[in-house]
Chains A and B, each alone.
Chain A
Amino acid sequence: MQPDDLARVLAPKLGENLLGVEPFEGMAGRVRFRREAALDLFRAVRDDLSFAHLSMVGGIDWVDHREVFYVAWSDAARQYVLLSTDVPATDAHVETASVIWPSANWHERETWELVDITFDHHPDLRHLLTPEGYAFHPLLRSFKIHEPEELEVKTRHV
């Protein structure tokens, strides 16, 4: 499957919410879309393009905006596809993909707690990897981790 095939199927469904389909080596293509059309896109990708398996949902913090990306696999075409949308940093939310692909559930929990992107209508959006009540979103660029101070270590040799 080539990027043109993806565009041909998705453009009628999304209209101007499809921002572009770029080639990506090793994949069917990279589909950039507006977050308003998220559910339409997911449905089209799963049903019309038969990418039945959602492997990965992740977030990237680009400081002024954040990016949510999805990777799905098609058994028929034996290819991956990359879907990516930008959300503004002040209003970082997007519709959940877990109603379309249940495998997105835990990935979205992790993306929320690490990159602070809220997934609307997610059935169970709570902490997964970080402790309950952890107040930070560690993978944001504004969250700095520091090098340790020098420590004086006393050892006892037996």
Chain B
Amino acid sequence: MATQAAIPFVEIEALRVKEFIPAAKEALSSLIAEQGQAKVIRPMFNWAGRNSLFPLHWGLACCAIEFAAGFGARWDAERFGVVARSTPRQADLMIVNGTVTWKVAHKLITLYEQMAEPKWVIAMGNCATGGGPFRTAYSVVPGVDKLVPVDVYIAGCPPRPEAMLDGILKLEQLIRERKE
């Protein structure tokens, strides 16, 4: 489906720790000299980023319960490297799981801005995607993409934990293809 950006493979023969670091440095610089920075560093960062997505420990509404169930034993999200972090400074993924109201909009944008680059947003559930069953309400933002840029939308009311994991895997696919 998508083109695989292959992670370069280099064999380093070193027997002692003291020898390993200079040998690795030399191997890496010669690889970059050969193939160019984009083909060496970017895939490594993408691999690291997509296999350790840390979502913000945040639950807005009903989808948060399925988000929590996704961290339970049956749908173990941690096997994908997904570990919820309590502070946005340590998170790189914000899963907006529930209805966004105008009252919380400012706080949501603040949390998004507190996250460091690179960061991604998953809109989980119908409310985050487009307002959901509450779209006609006076206090509801019709979709979180009115506030922050969204990378993946997961439909459902609420989406099952498998759907949430599928959304995370789709995000990993997007990160694999990241060029800059």
Contacts and interface: CB of A to CB of B under 8 A. Distances in A.
Contacts of B102: 131
Given A131-B103, A158-B173, A158-B174, A138 B136 contact: no
Contacts of A153: 130
Nearest to B137: A145
Nearest to A132: B103
A12 interface: no
A143 B138 contact: yes
A136 interface: yes
A78 interface: no
Contacts of B137: 145
Nearest to A127: B103
B139 A130 contact: yes
Contact of B138 (A136, A148, A151, A155): A136
Interface string A100-142: 0000000000000000000000000000001100001010000
Interface residues of A, number: 13
A150 interface: no
Nearest to B153: A155
Contact of A145 (B138, B153, B173): B138
The prevalent SS among residues of A at the interface is: loop
B139 A146 contact: no
B101 to A, nearest CB: 8
A152 interface: no
A155 B154 CA distance: 12
A147 interface: yes
B99 to A, nearest CB: 13
A81 B79 CA distance: 55
Which one of A131, A136, A147 has the highest number of Cβ atoms from chain B below 10 Å of its Cβ? A131
Interface in B136-150: 136-139, 142
Contact of B103 (A130, A136, A145): A130
Given A130-B103, A131-B102, A131-B103, A148 B174 contact: no
13 contacts: A130-B103, A130-B139, A136-B138, A138-B138, A145-B137, A147-B136, A148-B135, A148-B136, A153-B130, A155-B153, A158-B170, A158-B173, A158-B174
Interface of B: 102-103, 130-131, 135-139, 142, 153, 170, 173-174
